[in-house]
Amino acid sequence: MIQLYDGRKFPLPPGNLIMINNIPYISLFWQHDSKLSHPSYCELCKNVIERDGQYIIKYGDNEWLVEEIV
């Protein structure tokens, strides 16, 4: 679950986790609209696996590719 600053909670949405200038973003309402806090990202990184040279966050049965945009 992702908790926003206003208290709303959402399941981690499908799609990739995008890194832009070393800042992690997810897409809740539109593309790359939600920046993750450092503690949130660190918590997700506890579930990182590497597969075929790519990093993937695996949580339960779900997976999110970590993609870097330069």
Fold annotation for 13-69 = duf1285 like fold (3.10.540)
User: Which pLDDT score is estimated for 2?
Assistant: 76
User: Which pLDDT score is estimated for 25?
Assistant: 93
| Cα gap 34→6, rounded to integer Å | 13
Report pTM: 0.79
Write the secondary structure of 5-70 as one string of H (helix), E (strand) and C (coil).
Answer: CCCCEECCCCCCEEEECCEEEECCCCCCCEECCHHHHHHHHCCEEEECCEEEEEECCEEEEEEEEC
User: Which pLDDT score is estimated for 56?
Assistant: 95
Averaged pLDDT, groups of 10, the chain, 70 residues long: 80 88 90 89 91 92 89
User: Which pLDDT score is estimated for 47?
Assistant: 92
